[in-house]
Structure formats: C-alpha cells, structure tokens
C-alpha cells in the first residue's frame, strides 16, 4: 500500500507536534510526505501534480493543526482546486473512489473542551464533519481520525509515544471507520 501524508502547517519548523509526526513517518517504507506550505508558499497549487500524487497512492492522510475550527487556509484552497468536478466527484469524477482518507489533527485545547459541555460545545467528530462529507462525495473510505488535544501540555515522553502511535495509524493494514 502506498501512503501519502499531506502535511499542512504554515510554520512546520516551529511546530513541536506536527513536526514530530512528520519526522516519525517520513522514513517509513511506502510513505510519501508532502508539505503543502513548502510546495506552495504563494498558494498557487499545481493541480495536475497534486492529482497525480493522489492517484498514485492508496491511502491519503491529511495532517494539520486545527485552526478556527477548520483546516489551515492552504488546505482549504487545496480542497477547492484539486478535488474538482469531473475528476474527484460528479460525472466522471471517480479518480479517488475506493482510496482511504485519514485525518491527523492537533488542537491547542484539551480534550474536555471538545465536548457538548466543554468550552467549544462541539466534539472533534462533529467539527471534522466537513472533511467526512468531502470523503463521502469523493468516494473514499474515511478512517477514524487521529487527534492529539492539549498540545501545550504534552511532555516529551508523551510526544514520543504519540509519534509512535501516529506511525501505526498511518501505516496500519486495516482501516477503522
């Protein structure tokens, strides 16, 4: 299985969590790490190149920090231009059908803030519904999200274990839906 990890962090070199995750998976066999902000600092996405990357992989992992209850802006732009009508959905839009789609998200807030009674009043599963709806539209199989909450309070030991868990998530043989 060929796996594509699309890392979308605007300041990856200053990131503790996403950088650790990226470094943990980048040397795994059959894993391609693709950094959107490094590839497109001007936000001018090469659609043909991105679509070729997607079609040449079986599993796609979208890795990003959770910003304003959503993805970083470049990932939203990527959705808008790469997952086009007639290619990813709609008439003839079946190029991703049958592939697996995963999401790896880091949040500043602790897990308890992502509950109906918490600060944010919504669960992470609810807040990630737009990506799951996109998954449904393009015909991919949605993997259970990989989420690390409360990133400011993660010890080095916890991060090392979490990065190892991330490698398992990215490379697992079966998919949990």
pLDDT tens, 11-66?
Answer: 999 999 999 999 999 999 999 999 999 999 999 999 999 999 999 999 999 999 99
Q: Is the CA virtual torsion 50, 56, 62, 63 positive or negative?
A: negative
Which domain CATH number covers 85? Answer: 3.40.50.360
Query: The pTM is what?
Result: 0.95
Establish if 36 belongs to a structural domain: yes
Task: Answer whether residue 21 is part of any domain.
Answer: yes
Q: Is 177 contained in some domain? A: no
Portion of the chain with pLDDT greater than 90, in percent: 93
Rounded to 5 degrees, φ, ψ at 173 are -80, -40
Q: CA quadruple 13, 15, 20, 26: dihedral positive or negative?
A: negative
CA-to-CA dists, residue 168 to 6, 70, 79, 135, 156, angstroms = 16, 25, 26, 22, 19
Torsion angles phi and psi, residue 35, rounded to 5: -95, 115
The answer to whether residue 28 is domain-embedded is yes
Which pLDDT belongs to residue 173? 76
100's tokens: 């697996």
**DSSP assignment string, 61-95:** EEEEE-BTTB--HHHHHHHHHHS-BTTTBSTT--T
Indicate the number of domains in the chain. Answer: 1
Does position 160 have pLDDT exceeding 80, yes or no? yes
Does 77 fall in a domain?
Answer: yes
pLDDT category at 174 given cuts 50, 70, 90 is: low
**Residue 108 banded pLDDT, cuts 50, 70, 90:** very high
Which sign, positive or negative, has the C-alpha torsion 30, 27, 60, 52? negative
Task: Answer yes or no: is pLDDT of 175 > 80.
Answer: no
**pLDDT exceeds cutoff 60 at 177:** no
Give me the domain span that covers residue 89. Answer: 3-171
User: Once rounded to an integer, what is the mean pLDDT over residues 98-109?
Assistant: 97
């Amino acid at each position: 299985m060929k796996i594509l990890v699309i890392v979308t962090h605007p300041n990856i070199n200053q990131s503790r969590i996403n950088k650790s995750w990226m470094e943990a998976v980048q040397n795994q066999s059959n894993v391609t790490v693709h950094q959107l902000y490094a590839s497109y600092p001007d936000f001018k996405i090469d659609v043909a190149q991105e679509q070729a990357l997607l079609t040449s992989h079986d599993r796609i992992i979208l890795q990003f920090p959770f910003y304003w209850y959503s993805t970083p802006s470049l990932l939203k732009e990527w959705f808008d231009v790469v997952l086009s009508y007639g290619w990813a959905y709609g008439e003839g839009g079946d190029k991703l059908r049958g592939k697996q789609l995963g999401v790896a998200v880091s949040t500043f807030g602790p897990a308890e803030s992502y509950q109906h009674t918490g600060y944010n009043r919504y669960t992470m599963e609810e807040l990630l519904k737009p990506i799951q709806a996109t998954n449904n539209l393009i015909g991919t199989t949605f993997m259970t999200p990989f989420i690390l909450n409360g990133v400011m309070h993660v010890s080095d030991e916890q991060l090392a274990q979490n990065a190892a868990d991330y490698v398992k998530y990215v490379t697992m043989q079966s998919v949990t839906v």
